[in-house]
Structure 1
Amino acid sequence: MIDKDLKTYIESSILPQYDAFDTAHRRNHAEAVIRRCMDLAEFYPEIDRKMLYVAAACHDLGLCQGRDEHHKNSARIIRADRTLSRWFSETEISIIAEAAEDHRASLGHAPRTLYGRLVAEADRLIDPDVTLRRTVQYGLSHYPELPREAQYTRFATHLKDKYAPGGYLQLWIPESPNSVRLEELRHIISDEAALRNRFDLLYEEETAAL
């Protein structure tokens, strides 16, 4: 059970910060990661749900200082948030910060704790439709100067580097449904014509909304 005051603090002071981020990392993304973490926690009764809740809610806060070091900056923001000491010890805050820092898929090491593995897994949110759309959204938000063909090249390269066999994404929680979804996404990525068709449809929808 999440403490009511803690939930109020997260919903009023933490989640609104996501409203300033790119469309792939808005408040709905943070809320989805929280839900997935809570679902996965059912398999791990030893987990402190309050700690996991905060780690999930805060995992992308560092985007306020750019994407490259956002995982490290998220950890710094958590450690600097003295309000959290109302509910957690310094040791617990350190574990929460480490979980946020370790969530990034491109890290060269496994998350240090189960909290980190759960947040990292929940952040994957592998749903072929959502993943493809978010990849288009990210390109349009961060590289608006790129023409359509260059956007497609960036889109396809990123998907192959991250999700194709041998890519840098790793799954950490065996109970997660991500394994099946990853295979579905890989099937799309491996079919160049299908991938291009999906991009074109999403590109038209997203640019029409700008």
Structure 2
Amino acid sequence: MDPALKFYIEQTIIPIYLQFDPSHSPEHVHQVIQNSFEIADGLNVNLDMVYTVAAYHDIGMLYGRKNHETTSRSIVLCDLALSQFFSRSQILVIGDAVEDHRASLTTEPRSIYGKIIAEADRDLDFQRILTRTLTYAITVKGINGFDELLQEAYTYIANKYVTNRCFQLWLTYPKNSQGLAEITQQIHDPYTFEESFTLIYQKLKQEGL
């Protein structure tokens, strides 16, 4: 990887995520970057582009959650600093991939980079999904009661990942396949789900949420 590119993104782009809700924090971006590199391993791709797509994928939330993927693409195309590291055609591919990361996208991503970020952003780790769901419900929706949060988390996760799953897995990534199986198992066993919920709920409360 180009160390100058990494320095620019780490110093200038990723800190912007500190302004977002905790479920879209720098920690989330670093997790998506890690997932992206794992997925890209063995693929004939430019790792600088993989890294940049992952770093910018949610940056459009600076201007609101709605249509943030399109705003993220616009930010990529307008960031003159990227021209130091990529050709214009590469920047266009990065922008398209960033826009194609949204789970609700109904069409196939336009490039391998779009498929990588779509897969990486799914991050189908049940514990992280439950943690992010609770964090968002508490900090953004203002839900605080145990029973209300339990219902909110169960309904949201069941609907998004099991009963009405609208996303497609575009690449083979064992972590996501295994994660989706665990999510499904948890939803089909509400008692186990509540046990998992209780542990994370208590942890978040101890952290001051």
Where on the TM-score scale, by shorter chain, does this alignment land: which range? over 0.9
* Structure 1, unaligned runs of 5 or more: none
Question: Contact 2:60 / 2:75 at 8 angstroms: preserved in 1?
Answer: yes
Match of 1:120 in 2: 118
Give structure 2 stretches of 5+ with no counterpart.
Answer: none
- CA RMSD between the two structures: 1.6
SS in 2 for 1:164: helix
Residue 6 (structure 2) aligns with: 7
Alignment partner, residue 161 of structure 1: 159
User: Matched residues in 2 for 1:31 and 1:5: separation?
Assistant: 18
Are the structure 2 counterparts of residues 175 and 125 from structure 1 closer, same or farther at C-alpha, using a change threshold of 3 Å? closer
Residues of 1 paired with 2:201 and 2:59: CA distance?
27
Larger deviation: 137-146 or 119-128? 137-146
Superimposed CA distance per residue, residues 62-118 of structure 1 (whole angstroms, 9 cap, x where no aligned partner):
111222211111111111111101111221111101111111112222211110010
CA drift at 1:180: 1.4
Give the C-alpha shift of residue 146 in structure 1. 5.9
Where does residue 47 of structure 2 map in the other structure? 49
Q: How many residues were matched structurally?
A: 208
Distance between the aligned counterparts of 2:43 and 2:84, measured in 1?
25
Letter in 1 for 2:172: P
Q: Is contact 1:36–1:122 with CA below 8 Å preserved after alignment?
A: yes
> Counterpart of 1:199?
197
With 79-88 and 138-147 compared, the bigger mean Cα shift is at: 138-147
What is the TM-score of this pair, normalised by structure 2?
Answer: 0.92
Where does 1:15-164 land on structure 2 (aligned, <5 Å)?
15-45=14-44, 47-145=45-143, 147-164=145-162
TM-score normalised by length of structure 1:
0.92
Identity of aligned residues (%): 35
